[in-house]
């Protein structure tokens, strides 16, 4: 018993020693996140997790970048290539059709890797060569599969040419870069080991071995280009980065006035993440952190922290399955029936009740921030009478149980989403009640995300696996191509179920306009095409648009330049200027909501 | 006994092969694969990309063929790379996750046993006393309160509420492994780790103490009602001698068996405790790898647990024969 008492005394003694608090005291920043990146600073982005991109922003640098307003700024390049300064060129054929385009960059003379070596054209050439190597499992090679780099007068100038042309080259055509000198020996070893081989499990393992030497917790990146370099990664616990003094852009007043070290703490349970915020153990949260509900909860009565809800590019919607026998029986392939389903639900009240109006109602799949967004698209405000009239016009009338029926068939739909997502489950319940009021029976059938997004569910609408499916699409307002609803994007056996048009809606006019828009380089003409596409889409409602999600995140008061928009996506986009105002950091921009 | 042990060891081989086949099959047949996840997150992926990625990940090969290939490599000690973390699966498990888990589960088992056994004896000796009722009540609380709730409550109490009301005099970290690294010095590093260990260890022990003390209480009550204890008392032996020399040794036999069989569980980690307290151990490794289809890690984790389970079952059976003379293997 004495031993037990002694042990207890030891534990209490340790308990009395409180943990060190986060904050500006030592000019550091501690960020909490619920996810750990699989790897960091992988130049070929072979994993597409948001947390990886968010953390990579601290260590990465590009030729150009996008600011919170979607405007390009020069980072590693001396200037942003444009038509005006001759850096961006478009070549047209005799008929005026654009056949190729190109961007010419000059790398800043003081642009160096973190070890002090020069960043040169060779680093861009190496990146492009690996990106397009058949053995490398990058998710997709677009838009660089046919791109070519031509050296300029010296090793700091080059031109990248897209042939066929890349529509968004001016905004996003800058190639990536990888430290060619640092990676040379390892790449040669990979190249030798897999020479002449086709993609396979064994080639992939060699690739992982190569990448493993530069991107993992065991082998931190040897060199980086951005304002911070990794110093310690304790797997499952934390990742720490410190200032890279070789980074060329210097914040106002000098680097010493801005954060010197940044630590990400990996806290998988979001309730524990909340406790970390309340206890002051973290200064800020990553965008991969709290749910909307938790952020609302934390917003109440907090003086030390600011909770922001940033308009994002995530579109929450319900796909209507227009394929399969059941869809034909219930006439889900009839636009009037789909319109009736949309008229039946009161989205304005829903977003007010559930989200305090912070997540606005959407009427179309395109983000309002995109230049091609059509403001006056048909809105389908809640109108139960109109919905009933549309159903009645199609021959669907209420039976004795109040449920619509026609020819002995009941209008009964299976409504699925990702199980365990409490927000979506609440939305489902509200919509179920609203549809019931007009005679539509909705049965909720939810599935784990792995099943819902797996190979045997959403893409198998033709087999009648679902009727209504609620989920979200992430888009970037700059790169809108309208391809979510193109006919060739309907997942089928022929295309390996690779398309995203899960509702199965095909419209020849829409497809024609979408194809035209893909090669239309004139912004005004492109806007017109998108205007028509959105009108067609809104008339046909292949999906029920619900709302645009906002990204909640939290930061301690006094933290400067830690903010973002739907263009920059993460609060780390301007990493070199993140700092504490109490330490002299100058605020260059603030969070807009 | 040696023949029996050898026969059991030989029986383990087909058993483990069968287990590996079942685990591999179930893992391969679960819905979704890593390429599905890439397809869904990227509208630009073309059918050609899908075919190329399936080839790259070996997913175009039927799973029985993949199983044979995995088995042949496993026999050579090669368990492949973790797709999620880009390092060998063995390294991920044995150097990154298992040490954390053992640091949590071994002290939890040892300390909780040291506390639970005396509590169980006390409860049995003072059956239906006020203290026995209190201990029974606390055991039910420990069984009924889910870790994800009681864990978060404990975090809130010790990391938020108590630091506020005591001005920071009593404060514990809200989860994680610690702030320091071994480079900061031996004692500072381990004191820091201890600080972070207190809460998850306490929560894990709370349930372990409840379970073991209830087993001990039941076992002791059964033993003290038997004839040999009555005979010892009739001989006029002092109560202390009856309890500790006669009853206790017999009452401990089922406890030893239970503890022996729970040893493989130490390696499996405690997924809820690890998740709530941000403790990167085996439980989380297994759960995360299952969710993200990191097949090599899943296979290594589950096979490790399967091997430990069958080995410790054999050891428990052999130990039983050693402590109980009535059991003989021939």
pLDDT at A12: 41
pLDDT at B180: 85
The answer for B 301-320 residues in CB contact with A (under 8 A) is none
For A458, phi and psi rounded to 5 degrees?
A: -55, -40
| Nearest residue of B to residue A45, measured between CA atoms | B38
Q: Is A21 helix (H, G, I), strand (E, B) or coil?
A: coil
| Nearest residue of B to residue A136, measured between CA atoms | B56
Least CB–CB distance from B179: residue in A14, A16, A20 = A20
Q: Which residues in chain A are contacts of B195 at CB distance < 8 A?
A: 14-15, 17, 19
Q: Which residues in chain A are contacts of B160 at CB distance < 8 A?
A: 275, 278-279
Q: Are A208 and B81 in contact (CB < 8 Å)? A: yes
DSSP single-letter state for residue B133: H
Buried b (16+ CB within 10 A) or exposed e, A416-446: bbbeebebbeebbebbbebbeebbbbbeeeb
Least CB–CB distance from A275: residue in B47, B86, B155 = B155
Query: Which tokens hold the place of B32?
Result: 């979704």
Instruction: Please indicate if any CB of chain B lies within 8 Å of the CB of A5.
Output: no
Instruction: Please indicate if any CB of chain A lies within 8 Å of the CB of B38.
Output: yes
Q: Are B56 and A203 in contact (CB < 8 Å)? A: yes
Residues A423, A429, A435: CA angle, nearest 5 degrees:
130
For residue A547, the cross-strand partners are A316, A361
Q: Which residues in chain A are contacts of B43 at CB distance < 8 A?
A: 473, 483-484, 489, 500
pLDDT at B266: 81
| Nearest residue of A to residue B277, measured between CA atoms | A272
**What is the least distance, in Å, from the CA of A314 to any CA of chain B?**
12
Question: Which residue has 């690294």 as its token pair?
Answer: B181
DSSP single-letter state for residue B96: I
Q: What is the pLDDT of residues A112-156, one digit of tens each?
A: 999 999 999 999 999 999 999 999 988 888 899 999 999 999 999
| Nearest residue of A to residue B55, measured between CA atoms | A200
pLDDT at B40: 64
Q: Which residues in chain A are contacts of B87 at CB distance < 8 A?
A: 212, 216-218
Q: With contact defined as beta carbons under 8 Å apart, do A107 and A76 qualify?
A: yes
Q: How far is CA A388 from CA A107, A401, A410, A415, A430, in A?
A: 63, 16, 15, 20, 18
Instruction: Please indicate if any CB of chain B lies within 8 Å of the CB of A7.
Output: yes
Q: Are A140 and B41 in contact (CB < 8 Å)? A: no
d(CA B288, CA A344): 40
* Mean pLDDT by groups of 10 residues along chain B of 330 residues: 86 94 90 72 70 82 92 92 87 93 92 93 92 92 88 93 90 89 90 93 92 92 89 88 84 81 80 91 91 89 92 82 68
Q: Are B177 and A237 in contact (CB < 8 Å)? A: yes
Instruction: Please indicate if any CB of chain B lies within 8 Å of the CB of A479.
Output: no
pLDDT at A449: 78
- Disruptive mutation site among B65, B149, B170, B175 for chain A (greatest number of A CBs within 10 Å): B175
Nearest to A480 by CA among A407, A531, A434, A406: A531
Q: Are A268 and B275 in contact (CB < 8 Å)? A: yes
pLDDT at A4: 42
pTM over 0.90: no
Instruction: Please indicate if any CB of chain A lies within 8 Å of the CB of B178.
Output: yes
Q: Which residues in chain A are contacts of B70 at CB distance < 8 A?
A: none
Least CB–CB distance from B86: residue in A211, A237, A278 = A211
For B208, phi and psi rounded to 5 degrees?
A: -65, -45
Q: Which residues in chain A are contacts of B168 at CB distance < 8 A?
A: 18
| Nearest residue of B to residue A231, measured between CA atoms | B181
Instruction: Please indicate if any CB of chain B lies within 8 Å of the CB of A235.
Output: yes
Q: What is the pLDDT of residues A318-329, one digit of tens each?
A: 999 999 999 999
Instruction: Please indicate if any CB of chain A lies within 8 Å of the CB of B233.
Output: no
Question: Which residue has 């009839």 as its token pair?
Answer: A334
Nearest to A585 by CA among A304, A244, A251, A248: A251
Q: Are A489 and B181 in contact (CB < 8 Å)? A: no
Q: Are A275 and B49 in contact (CB < 8 Å)? A: no
pLDDT at A269: 87
d(CA B175, CA A237): 9
d(CA B114, CA B120): 11
Q: Which residues in chain A are contacts of B297 at CB distance < 8 A?
A: none
Q: Are B58 and A483 in contact (CB < 8 Å)? A: no
Instruction: Please indicate if any CB of chain A lies within 8 Å of the CB of B148.
Output: yes
For A439, phi and psi rounded to 5 degrees?
A: 100, 10
The answer for A 203-222 residues in CB contact with B (under 8 A) is 203-205, 207-209, 211-212, 215-218
Instruction: Please indicate if any CB of chain B lies within 8 Å of the CB of A25.
Output: no
Beta strands in A249-304 (DSSP E): 261-266, 284-285
pLDDT at B244: 83
d(CA A322, CA B45): 23
Query: Which tokens hold the place of B74?
Result: 């496993």
Helix ranges (DSSP H) in chain B: 2-29, 34-41, 47-56, 63-75, 89-91, 98-125, 130-144, 147-155, 162-165, 186-224, 227-234, 239-241, 248-268, 271-276, 282-291, 295-323
Q: What is the pLDDT along chain A (593 residues), one digit of tens a residue?
A: 444 444 444 444 444 444 444 567 889 999 999 989 989 999 998 877 789 999 999 999 999 999 999 999 999 999 999 999 999 999 999 988 999 999 999 999 999 999 999 999 999 999 999 999 999 988 888 899 999 999 999 999 999 999 999 999 999 999 999 999 999 999 999 999 999 998 888 898 899 899 989 999 889 999 999 999 999 999 999 999 999 999 999 999 999 999 999 999 999 888 899 999 988 889 999 988 788 888 888 888 777 889 999 988 889 999 999 999 999 999 999 999 999 999 999 999 999 999 998 999 999 999 998 999 999 999 999 999 999 999 999 999 999 999 999 999 999 999 999 888 888 999 999 999 999 999 999 999 998 877 787 777 888 899 999 999 999 888 778 888 898 999 988 988 887 777 789 999 999 999 999 999 988 999 999 999 999 999 999 999 999 999 999 988 999 999 999 999 989 999 999 999 999 999 999 999 999 87
Report how many Cβ contacts below 8 Å link chain A to chain B: 207
Q: With contact defined as beta carbons under 8 Å apart, do A5 and B118 qualify?
A: no
Q: Which residues in chain B are contacts of A474 at CB distance < 8 A?
A: 41
Nearest to A140 by CA among A500, A437, A576: A500
Instruction: Please indicate if any CB of chain A lies within 8 Å of the CB of B86.
Output: yes
Instruction: Please indicate if any CB of chain A lies within 8 Å of the CB of B287.
Output: no
Query: Which tokens hold the place of B217?
Result: 């209480």
Least CB–CB distance from A199: residue in B56, B80, B152 = B56
| Nearest residue of A to residue B49, measured between CA atoms | A140
Query: Which tokens hold the place of A475?
Result: 């888009």
Instruction: Please indicate if any CB of chain B lies within 8 Å of the CB of A19.
Output: yes
Nearest to A468 by CA among A509, A434, A492, A510: A434
Q: Is B306 helix (H, G, I), strand (E, B) or coil?
A: helix
Q: Which residues in chain A are contacts of B163 at CB distance < 8 A?
A: 18, 279
Q: How far is CA B198 from the centre of its chain?
A: 17
Nearest to B284 by CA among B273, B299, B293, B295: B273
d(CA A584, CA B1): 77
pLDDT at A8: 43
Least CB–CB distance from A212: residue in B40, B53, B87 = B87
Query: Which tokens hold the place of B222?
Result: 């059964």
d(CA A160, CA A162): 7
Instruction: Please indicate if any CB of chain B lies within 8 Å of the CB of A484.
Output: yes
d(CA A497, CA A512): 22
Q: How far is CA B30 from the centre of its chain?
A: 24
Nearest to A588 by CA among A337, A253, A92: A253
d(CA B67, CA B25): 8
Round the CA-based radius of gyration of chain A to a whole number and report it.
27
**What is the least distance, in Å, from the CA of B72 to any CA of chain A?**
14
Q: Are A212 and B86 in contact (CB < 8 Å)? A: yes
Instruction: Please indicate if any CB of chain B lies within 8 Å of the CB of A234.
Output: yes
- Disruptive mutation site among A3, A6, A15, A448 for chain B (greatest number of B CBs within 10 Å): A15
**What is the least distance, in Å, from the CA of B107 to any CA of chain A?**
12
Instruction: Please indicate if any CB of chain A lies within 8 Å of the CB of B58.
Output: yes
Q: With contact defined as beta carbons under 8 Å apart, do B233 and B242 qualify?
A: yes
d(CA A435, CA B261): 54
Instruction: Please indicate if any CB of chain A lies within 8 Å of the CB of B50.
Output: yes
The answer for A 119-148 residues in CB contact with B (under 8 A) is 134, 137, 139-142
């Amino acid at each position: 018993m004495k031993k037990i008492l002694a042990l207890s005394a030891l534990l209490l003694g340790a308990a009395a020693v409180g943990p060190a608090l986060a904050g500006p005291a030592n000019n550091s920043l501690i960020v909490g996140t619920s996810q750990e990146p699989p790897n960091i600073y992988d130049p070929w982005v072979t994993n597409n997790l948001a947390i990886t991109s968010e953390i990579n922003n601290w260590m990465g640098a590009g030729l150009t970048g996008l600011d919170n307003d979607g405007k390009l700024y020069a980072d590693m390049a001396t200037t942003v290539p444009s038509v005006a300064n001759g850096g961006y060129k478009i070549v047209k054929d005799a008929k005026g059709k654009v056949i190729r385009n190109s961007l010419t960059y000059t790398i800043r003379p003081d642009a160096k890797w973190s070890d002090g070596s020069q960043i040169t054209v060779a680093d861009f050439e190496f990146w492009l060569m690996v990106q397009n190597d058949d053995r490398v499992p990058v998710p997709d090679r677009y838009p660089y599969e046919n791109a070519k780099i031509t050296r300029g007068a010296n090793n700091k100038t080059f031109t990248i040419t897209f042939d066929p042309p890349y529509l968004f080259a001016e905004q996003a055509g800058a190639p990536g870069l990888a430290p060619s000198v640092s990676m040379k020996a390892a790449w040669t070893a990979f190249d030798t080991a897999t020479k002449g081989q086709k993609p396979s499990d064994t080639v992939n393992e060699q690739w992982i071995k190569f990448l493993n030497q530069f991107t993992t917790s065991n082998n931190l990146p040897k060199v980086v280009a951005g304002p911070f370099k990794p110093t310690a990664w304790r797997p499952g616990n934390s990742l720490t980065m410190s200032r890279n003094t070789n980074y060329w852009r210097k914040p106002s007043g000098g680097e010493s006035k801005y954060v010197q070290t940044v630590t990400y703490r990996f806290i998988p349970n979001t309730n524990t993440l909340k406790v970390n915020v309340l206890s002051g153990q973290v200064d800020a949260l990553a965008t991969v952190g709290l749910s909307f509900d938790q952020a609302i909860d934390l917003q109440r009565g907090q003086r030390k922290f600011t909770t922001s809800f940033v308009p994002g590019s995530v579109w929450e919607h319900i796909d209507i399955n227009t394929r399969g026998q059941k869809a034909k029986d219930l006439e889900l392939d009839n636009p009037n029936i789909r319109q009736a389903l949309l008229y039946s639900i009161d989205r304005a009240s829903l977003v007010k009740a559930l989200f305090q109006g912070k997540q606005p109602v959407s009427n179309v799949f395109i983000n309002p921030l995109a230049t091609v967004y059509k403001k006056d698209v048909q809105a389908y405000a809640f109108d139960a009478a109109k919905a009933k009239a549309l159903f009645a016009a199609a021959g669907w009338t209420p039976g004795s149980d109040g449920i619509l029926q026609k020819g002995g068939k009941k209008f009964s739909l299976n409504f699925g989403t990702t199980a365990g997502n409490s927000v979506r489950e609440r939305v489902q319940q509200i919509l179920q009640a609203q549809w019931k009021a007009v005679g539509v029976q909705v049965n909720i059938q939810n599935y784990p995300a792995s099943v819902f997004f797996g190979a045997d569910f959403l893409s198998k609408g033709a087999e009648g696996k679902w009727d209504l499916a609620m989920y979200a699409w992430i888009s970037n307002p700059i790169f809108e191509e309208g391809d979510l609803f193109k006919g060739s994007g309907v997942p089928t056996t022929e295309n390996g179920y690779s398309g995203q048009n899960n509702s199965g809606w095909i419209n020849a006019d829409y497809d024609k306009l979408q194809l035209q828009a893909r090669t239309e380089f004139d912004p005004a003409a492109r806007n017109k095409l998108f205007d028509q596409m959105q009108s067609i889409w809104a008339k046909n409602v292949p999906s029920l648009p619900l709302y645009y999600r906002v990204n909640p995140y939290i930061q301690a008061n006094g933290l400067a330049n830690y903010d973002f928009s739907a263009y920059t996506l993460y609060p780390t986009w301007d990493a070199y200027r993140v700092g504490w105002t109490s330490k002299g950091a100058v605020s260059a921009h603030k969070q807009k909501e | 006994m040696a023949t029996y042990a050898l026969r059991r060891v030989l029986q383990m081989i087909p058993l483990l092969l069968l287990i590996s086949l079942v685990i591999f099959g179930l893992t391969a047949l679960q819905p979704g694969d890593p390429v599905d996840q890439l397809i869904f997150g990227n509208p630009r992926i073309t059918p050609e990309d899908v075919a190329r990625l399936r080839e790259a990940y070996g997913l175009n090969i039927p799973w029985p063929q993949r199983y044979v290939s995995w088995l042949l490599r496993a026999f050579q000690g090669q368990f492949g790379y973790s797709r999620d973390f880009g390092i060998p699966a063995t390294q991920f498990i044995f150097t990154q996750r298992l040490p954390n888990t053992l640091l949590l589960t071994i002290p939890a088992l040892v300390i909780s046993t040291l506390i639970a056994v005396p509590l169980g004896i006390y409860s049995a000796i003072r059956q239906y006393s006020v203290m026995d009722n209190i201990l029974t009540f606390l055991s039910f609380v420990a069984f009924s309160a889910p870790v994800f709730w009681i864990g978060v409550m404990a975090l809130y109490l010790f990391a938020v509420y108590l630091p506020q009301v005591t001005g920071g005099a009593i404060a514990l970290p809200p989860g994680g492994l610690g702030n320091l690294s071994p480079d900061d010095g031996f004692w500072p590093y381990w004191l820091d780790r201890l600080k972070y260990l207190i809460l998850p260890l306490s929560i894990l022990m709370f349930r372990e103490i409840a379970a073991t003390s209830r087993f001990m209480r039941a076992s002791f009550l059964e033993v003290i009602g038997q004839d040999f204890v009555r005979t010892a008392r009739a001989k006029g032996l002092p109560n202390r001698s009856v309890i500790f020399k006669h009853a206790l040794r017999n009452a401990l036999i089922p406890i030893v068996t239970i503890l022996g069989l729970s040893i493989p569980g130490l390696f499996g980690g405690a997924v809820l405790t690890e998740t709530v307290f941000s403790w990167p151990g085996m439980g989380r490794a297994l759960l995360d790898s299952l969710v993200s289809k990191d097949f090599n890690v899943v296979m290594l984790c589950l096979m490790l647990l399967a091997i430990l389970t069958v080995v410790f079952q054999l050891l428990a059976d052999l130990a039983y024969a050693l402590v109980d003379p009535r059991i003989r293997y021939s």
